[in-house]
Structure 1
Amino acid sequence: MSAILLVEDDPSVRTGLELALTRQGHSVTACATGEEGLEHARARRPEIVILDVMLPGIDGFEFCRRVRRTDQMPIILLTARSDNLDVVVGLEAGADDYVIKPVEPAVLDARIRAVLRRAVGGTADRSTYGDLVIDRGALRVSRAGADVHLTPTELRLLLELTRHPGQVLSRSHLLRSVWDHGYAGDSRLVDASVQRLRAKVERDAAAPTLIQTVRGFGYRFVAP
């Protein structure tokens, strides 16, 4: 059973998802506004947040940004549109995944479980790449002696890239291995997460040396 914070302003959608997720065995706290959701997130520390994008007041994008300033709890966005800009903005704001409404409860439950598996996954060893240190056992990353705070998805992405140093990993490979479910070529998840990851682990995200783009193919991790 997972402790879920559901933030959705539509009463019928909120009630339906709350009931369905409860039947799936989760403990659900439901809120109607971003402001209320932030209060619950800070006070109750849920295992995962299911977050509508279009909220009155603080919308889903701003909610993500505020949470990410201090916390790496997993976030799945609920969006009524598959518009590229909405999806990219949400991922860049710090969301780990997204689903398009209307969504089947079983599908949402599968996404929740996949994101939570990513949050606790890892293998035990320690690797050093210049001033970047990855402790796979403790699931901690540091650069120049300072902790690097990564979301579960960013951490899984970094772990996967560093497991294959020098190899080009396609976006489809990363979608399968990092996101743990099949997308039909939706590379936006990969590209947005790589951009966020570079901002945290590269000395200069505009001129990355560790995580390199191989145009037309994907990404590779280059050890110094």
Structure 2
Amino acid sequence: MSTTETAHILIVEDEERLARLVADYLRAAGHRVQHLAEGTGVAAWVRRERPDLILLDLMLPGKDGLDICREIRTESQVPIIMTTARVEEIDRLLGLELGADDYVCKPYSPRELVARVKAVLRRTLAPEPPAADPGPLHLHRDELRVRAGDDEIELTAVEFALLETLHGAPGRIFSRDRLMDRIYRDHRVVSDRTIDSHVKKLRRKLAELVPDQELIHSVYGVGYRYETPADSD
């Protein structure tokens, strides 16, 4: 993986002049830059080339940025900064529906965009501080079992995938859509209530294992996060 000083960045932007300008600024900042002008084939390119960050325009020929972001997120957590001139879409981007790491509204300053890129890369590529305490749980994927001390419980495959996602990023908020993408790799259509039902059952089982701790917390209007009592102090 590249460092924050020499990241491999993909620009997906159909405005050629803007793409060239942004690429020049990013190269001046020390990054390696490549450019795609349409949405078709972006996910396959990302799978093949494995960039460190993607600047993804919302309105693209072939396939729009929303669909591309959803497609990439089914198999990669590469940082994505969305760019858009459609102000009405900002609420959707901020609502964590897509899993984008940041957004920039057009027209923007190339210097501001480079600063946003630097900030996102610092969070995702630089050596990270010690992870938040994952709490008392020890997950055993092969057996779909969760242990706490001398006690353990068995989960369904969906419940385990749900817990593994939340447990792996303590304090991070996951929207219901993001959880669906993580749990249902076959892209089946399920409702928000399905995720809520799985969370309810998972909480019930965890309460049997660690009755004195609430580990999965609801974030009103957004989704869920895993948090130990120590993290919330």
TM-score (norm 1): 0.62
CA contact (8 A) 2:10 2:34 kept: yes
Residue-by-residue CA offset, 1:140-191 (whole Å, 9 max, x unaligned): xx994769458xxx97xx44x39xxxxxxxxxxxxxxxxxxxxxxxxxxxxx
SS at match of 1:76: strand
Larger Rg belongs to: 2
Deviates more, 1:194-203 or 1:57-66: 194-203
How many corresponding residue pairs?
A: 176
2:117 matches 1:112: yes
2:74 matches 1:69: yes
Residue-by-residue CA offset, 1:50-92 (whole Å, 9 max, x unaligned): 0000111211111111111111111100111332444247x41
Deviates more, 1:110-119 or 1:201-210: 201-210
* Distance in 2 of aligned mates of 1:3 and 1:132: 35
2:93 matches 1:87: yes
* Distance change >3 Å, CA 194–CA 39, structure 1 → 2: closer
SS at match of 1:204: helix
Letter in 2 for 1:211: H
| Residue ranges of structure 1 left out of the alignment (5+ in a row) | 134-141, 163-192
SS at match of 2:87: coil
SS at match of 2:34: strand
- 2:227 counterpart residue number: 221
* Distance in 1 of aligned mates of 2:40 and 2:30: 27
Q: What percent of counterpart residues are identical?
A: 32
Deviation at 1:211?
A: 2.2
Moved segments of 4+, more than 6 Å: 205-208
Partner of residue 195 from structure 1, selected from 171, 175, 180: 175
Deviation at 1:206?
A: 10
* Distance in 2 of aligned mates of 1:113 and 1:143: 40
2:34 matches 1:2: no
2:24 matches 1:44: no
SS at match of 2:69: helix
| Residue ranges of structure 2 left out of the alignment (5+ in a row) | 1-5, 147-159, 184-195, 204-213
Deviation at 1:96?
A: 1.0
CA contact (8 A) 1:198 1:205 kept: no
